[in-house]
Amino acid sequence: MLLQNTPDRLALGSLLVALTVLALKITAWKMTGSVALYSDAMETVVNVAGAIIAWMAIRFAARPPDANHPFGHHKAENFSAIAEGTLIVVAAILILQQAIAALWEPESLDLSVVGLSVNAAAAMANLLWSRVLIGAGTRRRSPALDASGRHLMSDVWTSVGVLGGLGFAALTGWGWLDPLMAVLVAFLILREGWKVIKSSADDLMDSAAHSQDREVIENAVRASSAGALQIHDLRTRRAGQAVFVEFHLVVPREMSVGAAHDICDRIEAAIDEQIEQVRTTIHVEPDFHIKKHGLEPD
């Protein structure tokens, strides 16, 4: 059932999961008084904000092209991923501040099994949902869903580290392990935020389609271009969930415009069949434009 879910429904699902996880993590913090668990809960506030941003961006990106944005609004998703990355970085800095303060003035801890289990349940919810998001994000090439999923996965590792550290602190009675774990968490979160920002910024720079998509496109072009002589200067670029493809199609110089256009329509349909949300533009050339390197029709 989840497989058929649209990205905007998945983004709404993220919001529900984030709110549930936030409630659980705040409960765990209140039960234990742990700075590390407080940090973990504060980071989840970012998830709530991130889910709202991703949901709005996905809806905005799906708007049809208009006069001001004739190529569509796909890149709204990349912007939301950058916003999410920035939020992650801000959360890390807030946690760091809190943890360093607690290092000087340790607070009383009550590391009950129940308190830690509540946080563990929240981490489990994050783990399951991040798998759903990363799967859907990859399948639909949605940067917003992918960023949310990877973000959640980093939260899971954070929780695992925190719970491990706190469990150890409970066994040994070393209370200073708590703020120290919080500092470690802050650095892990900072790193994830940077990674999300970096990959989204890269996408905004008109990065090429993923290599498996490029292969699929090249195969579709070769298989559907009978009658043409060569395909060269094939370029692809990604924008949000969309892929733009353009290339030169060399045909015999005496071929009629009608016949050349029929080949173009065939190729466009073949690519359409393989890749979702693709837009293909073809430039037709006579045979003396043949280049040394290019694709040949099968």
User: CB under 5 A: which stretch of 96-104, 130-138, 186-194, 244-252 binds Zn ion?
Assistant: 244-252
- Shortest reach from residue 154's CB to Zn ion, in Å: 45
- Shortest reach from residue 258's CB to Zn ion, in Å: 11
Q: Binding of Zn ion at residue 151 (CB under 5 A)?
A: no
**Closest of 276, 258, 255, 263 to residue 231, by C-alpha:** 263
Q: Binding of Zn ion at residue 150 (CB under 5 A)?
A: no
- Contact residue for Zn ion among 25, 73, 141, 248 (CB under 5 A): 248
Question: Is the Cβ of residue 64 or residue 258 nearer to Zn ion in the bound state?
Answer: 258
- Shortest reach from residue 268's CB to Zn ion, in Å: 8
Q: Binding of Zn ion at residue 231 (CB under 5 A)?
A: no
Structure tokens given for 241: 């969930």
- Shortest reach from residue 270's CB to Zn ion, in Å: 14
Q: Parallel, antiparallel, or unpaired for β 230-239 and 242-251? A: antiparallel
- Shortest reach from residue 294's CB to Zn ion, in Å: 9
User: CB under 5 A: which stretch of 68-76, 134-142, 165-173, 246-254 binds Zn ion?
Assistant: 246-254
Q: Sheet containing 230-239: which strands, arranged edge to edge?
A: 230-239, 242-251, 278-286
Q: Tell me the C-alpha distance between 251 and 209, whole Å.
A: 26
Number of residues that bind Zn ion (CB under 5 A): 2
Question: Is the Cβ of residue 103 or residue 246 nearer to Zn ion in the bound state?
Answer: 246
Q: Binding of Zn ion at residue 229 (CB under 5 A)?
A: no
Question: Is the Cβ of residue 70 or residue 173 nearer to Zn ion in the bound state?
Answer: 70
- What residues form DSSP beta bridges with 1? none
> How far is the CA of 275 from the CAs of 134, 154, 296, in angstroms?
19, 30, 21
CB-nearest residue to Zn ion: 248
- Shortest reach from residue 226's CB to Zn ion, in Å: 18
Question: Is the Cβ of residue 90 or residue 234 nearer to Zn ion in the bound state?
Answer: 234
User: CB under 5 A: which stretch of 41-49, 180-188, 189-197, 285-293 binds Zn ion?
Assistant: 285-293
Q: Which residues bind Zn ion (CB under 5 A)?
A: 248, 289
